[in-house]
Amino acid sequence: MEKVNTLKIFTKQFISGFCFALLYLSLSSCKEKSISDNITSRDCSPPSVKITAVTLKSECPAGFLKKGDGNCYYNFSYLTSDEKYSGLRKKVKISKDGLSPKKIDLGRILFFDPILSGDNSLSCAHCHHPAFGMSDGRDLSMGTGGCGFGPERTGGKVVPRSSPSIWNVAFYDLLFWDGRAATLEDQALGPLFSPIEMNAKKEDVEKKINSNTVYVKLFSEAFGKNLNGKITVQIIAEAIADFERTLVSFDSKYDKYVWGDTKAFNEEELKGFNVYRSFLTRCSECHPPPLFTTNQTAIIGAPDNQKMKNDLGRENLTGQRALRGDFKIPGLRNISETSPYMH
């Protein structure tokens, strides 16, 4: 749908968190090479570097308002609008507000740190990278055992579906292509324990994090007494989920247009928008604004990827033949960054 200014803001922030995590927390070396504009990649060299002092940020991310309780609250028009039920500026709902800035920053570091994976080589960001619209630019994602990022990643186990973008996931009701997770916390643990993705085990993750003096300090700083003496995978997932809740892109030409800037679209873009929402194309029936998804699933008959046939979609979860080929309707924000498409 659009290429948003927010992407540039987050990209700078992500690169900082990415190299910090790779260099310091998992004791991995970070030799940068460009694979996209201003985006860095990591080679697969052995561990070599360590740091002992880190401080979590107390500031809120862009688009959030820090209130008297010290927490960050969503401050986007779609959440404060009086137009709650219909129209182009329909209000979006959120599952959680009042996020701790230190939990957010800790989640950002964890998101980019391969220490969570079984062999310390794969991070969340490998499949959800800012260079590829918080996806990975692959028709089928590549998990454990591989090297590199995005389409250039090689040597790893092939995941039977593509990696969905996680922009605006704070507002989604269903997660994963088949909608099997309802919360970001549950979703974060899925790839972590998948034998073909991050290939980690609960006991190993907790042992590594609790024995890492840097992380023990950071978790104590972010969670305080709520740790109860131990960092668990549930607490790790909470931090990652809170970071993901800040991945919001509501600063496109479209948003400027619907909030009153009548010159935001050029002539061709306005024609395209009118066709998109017309009765002729009916695109907006499945992809209505502002998220450009109904937050539901649908069967549209998209063919299986020939590399990985017979994906039954939600039938695998429910056993219902009627749900064969039923997949989540993706949002279209930042769609220019997230090819190739479909599950």
% of residues, the chain, pLDDT over 70: 81
What is the tens place of the pLDDT at every residue in 89-144? 566 777 788 999 999 999 999 999 999 999 999 999 999 999 999 999 998 999 99
Name every residue whose Cβ is closer than 8 Å to that of residue 277 and which is 6 or more positions away in sequence.
283, 284
Other residues' Cβ atoms within 10 Å of the Cβ of residue 69: 9
Evaluate if residue 201 carries a pLDDT over 50: yes
- pLDDT, tens digit, 9 for 90 and up, residues 54-77: 889 999 999 999 999 999 999 887
What is the C-alpha to C-alpha distance for residues 320 and 158, in angstroms, rounded to an integer? 27
Whole-angstrom distance, CA of residue 255 vs CA of residue 110: 31
The chain-wide mean pLDDT, for the chain, equals 81
What pLDDT score was predicted for residue 22? 38
Predicted confidence (pLDDT) per residue in 217-252, tens digit: 999 999 987 788 899 999 999 999 999 999 999 889
Question: Is the confidence at residue 14, as pLDDT, over 60?
Answer: no
pLDDT tens-digit readout, 33-45? 322 222 334 456 5
Alpha helices by DSSP H, listed for the chain, are 5-20, 77-80, 101-111, 124-127, 184-193, 202-210, 213-223, 233-244, 253-258, 267-276, 315-318
**What is the pLDDT, as a whole number, of residue 326?**
81
